Amino acid sequence: MSVQFSLLSVLLSFVVIPAHATFPGKNGRIAFGRYNPSINGWQLYTASSDGTDVQPLTFVSSFLSDWRADGKRIAFDFSDSDGNEQIATINPDGSNMQQITFGPGIHEVPSWSPTGTQIAFDYSPLLPDDPNFTTSIFVMNSDGSNPHAVTTAGFDVEPRFSPMELESLSAVSASLPAMVSSRRRSLS
């Protein structure tokens, strides 16, 4: 019964979480993705919580974002000139963009730790069109240093730190055939 309830909880969380939007930081703004035909890709924007004052945040093809708890930085993933996905951080006004991952493959779906000192993300050295493509969850310091695996290669995606357990990380893992489970691992 508890396994069925956990599976149902995980599946329902996919239904109610808005796509391409992140919870506002202390300044009350919301970051979200919008398709921009002029760059032929997604671009990040911010808006007031009432939907006014929509402002572009990035001018590169950008995808998923996450606010740091203090509202002073936003982590996001973007496509580099070689077609790889990288992670960068940026101020909420669009200034001071700093790329923090480099290299081939995908580094995506960044998630700040509650203390703002680490970022969890999906990683694969391969691109999704490679038949050997898998993803693992990695954690790195907020400046991109010390990246290390938290899970082994599978299809582990969408890491989120628990706000109540500062040393905990949750990730969704999908293994073939269509089996979904939730994993929790200590980072210490």
Other CB atoms within a 10 A radius of the CB of residue 131 amount to: 5
Provide the pLDDT for residue 56: 94
Radius of gyration of the CA atoms of the chain, in A: 16
SS3 15: helix
Provide the pLDDT for residue 172: 55
5 and 181 Cβ atoms separated by less than 8 Å: no
Provide the pLDDT for residue 116: 95
Homologous superfamily (CATH) of 2-186 is: TolB, C-terminal domain (2.120.10.30)
Provide the pLDDT for residue 63: 87
Tell whether omega for the bond before 131 is within 30 degrees of 0, i.e. cis. no
Provide the pLDDT for residue 154: 86
Domain ranges (residues) in the chain: 2-186
127 and 83 Cβ atoms separated by less than 8 Å: yes
Tokens 């919301």 found at: 30
Tokens for 58, please give them: 């990035």
Along the 188 residues of the chain, how does pLDDT read in single tens digits? 444 433 333 333 333 333 445 554 455 899 999 999 988 889 999 999 899 999 999 988 998 999 999 999 999 999 999 999 999 999 999 999 999 999 999 999 999 999 999 999 999 999 999 999 999 999 999 999 999 999 987 899 999 998 865 445 555 555 433 333 333 344 44
From the number of C-beta atoms within 10 Å of its C-beta (0-12, 13-18, 19+), residue 21 rates as middle
Q: Whole-prediction pTM value?
A: 0.74
Tokens for 111, please give them: 């998630």
Strand partners, 138: 121, 149
32 and 79 Cβ atoms separated by less than 8 Å: no
